[in-house]
Amino acid sequence: MLWLRDLPRRLRQCSWLSWGVFLIVGLAMMLISVPGDPVYSYSDWNGSSPSGWSKDLDEAIGLRYAAGKFNPDERLGTDQYRHGWPLPCVTRGIGRVVLRTKRAGGGGWKDVFVRGHPVTAPTLSVHLPSDGDAYASVNTSNPNVFKLIPVDWEETQIAWSSYNRWPFAIDAAKWRLDFLLIDLTLLLAIPLGLAAATEWWVRRRGGVLRFRLVDLVVAFAALSAAFAWYRSHADLRRAEQRVEAHGMAFWFSTGALMQGWQDHQQGHNAYNGYQREYLGPDWLRRLLGNQELVRFAKHIVAVQLAPNESWSNNLEVLPKLDHLRSVSLPRGATRRAIEQLGKVEGLRKLEIGIGSHAAPRKRAESTDHSKDPWIGAQDLACLRSLSIEELGLAGEEFLAEDIEQAASIPTLRRLELIEPSLTLEELERLREENPHIEIQCHWLEAFWSTASPGTQYSLRAEPPGGVERKIESMRRRREAPADSSKAGNLSG
């Protein structure tokens, strides 16, 4: 116990550099570990039961706010944040009740805060200027007109400057005590360890400003490693600029490109859109507060190609994108397209026809593909050369026998079908014969929307009526000798 009594004297003897390292690294560790990342947001009218993976937290928050009893036109909103580094040790939920009121002059609706934790709580809330990334939004006054609006404010926010990111308010929480112990240990050990190493170095050198040649070598090696890391990302960004110059950034998902946006792009650009993700160290993103400050470490992971005449030029750049994982091809895919995709080492997801519609198909069909033939719906076996885990197919030209070929891809684990020519019996048989593959199937159902005037589409789990007759007709056309090369290709 003598060392405890001697500890204050030893601490007073530490150099100012050691104390500086401890304070700076300690502050950095606090900014990395404590502020939370938003993982979930939910709004529910009249306090009805929520759903999803965070249902327990939402129900606990609902009970905190008058047991889910709200006045008419009031709703409960919940936001959830995940805290902890390197392991998420707590998911924290906060709630707020807002009243929906009509704007003056009939300009729509607005939410008025009633009680709880407002989104715009007192906050420093530093924001970065928008960098021009945009996404599509429908103008409800004209359903055929789409406009581009800036990225959401969450994307430009310095995370640790936001009041709600810090755990000052908790309505409900889920804890992982084992992860909490690990995080707290690192939160203390890293600043103390670096401060102790600094103090050891100062005493070995006999002073703060005394250096040896080995110190300069170590510093030069560290700077060289950091510069090499930066250059590796910057060189890849140059290859990605070609895609970025001919496309728009978007949050990539099945059918994510809305038709109006797609019409705007078709025939003009080589790429409909792309998605970039931050691929640098997580601690650096948390420390800086926004991944846009290290945007050289954001790389393209998904691309959707436009169906135009420049297939070869569009595809040649894809194998140079080291982090590309998902590609969406239009209807009208060719064999050369598949050959080029075979060179993309990290490709894990392929979509064909998802997001395409009649106008681009007609433009694609006008192209001469005698030297680069179409991939027919009955030719999906050629996809076996790709090491993909997810495959999406959209179009009524796909029959059960075609999908069986797709299911034979050795690495396939998930298959998504939209508008296939399948009966429910054939779908169940495919699932029974391929238990290792998750098969999702949907058909589109058109309806007229009054909220946004125009024809809208919803997904249904059952095929439309008369699908048996359509399947029989398609099989007869395939067996017909005349013009059989075009009967089942992906462009029609």
Residue 414 has a pLDDT of 95
Provide block-wise average pLDDT over 10 residues at a time, the chain (492 residues). 68 85 96 89 50 62 63 75 93 81 62 68 56 40 40 65 88 91 96 93 83 88 95 88 64 34 37 80 92 88 72 72 88 76 91 59 47 72 90 88 92 92 91 93 69 58 79 82 49 45
Q: Name residue 312's amino acid.
A: S
Residue 383 CA to residue 405 CA, distance in Å, equals 9
The letter for the amino acid at 471 is: I
How far apart CA 438 and CA 255 sit, in angstroms, is 19
Residue 362's pLDDT is 44
The reported pTM is: 0.74
Rounded distance between C-alpha atoms, residue 484 and residue 463, angstroms: 26
Q: Give pLDDT, residue 76.
A: 76
DSSP H or E run through 249: strand 248-249
- Per-residue pLDDT at 198: 92
Torsion (CA) 80, 43, 157, 247 in degrees, nearest 10? 120
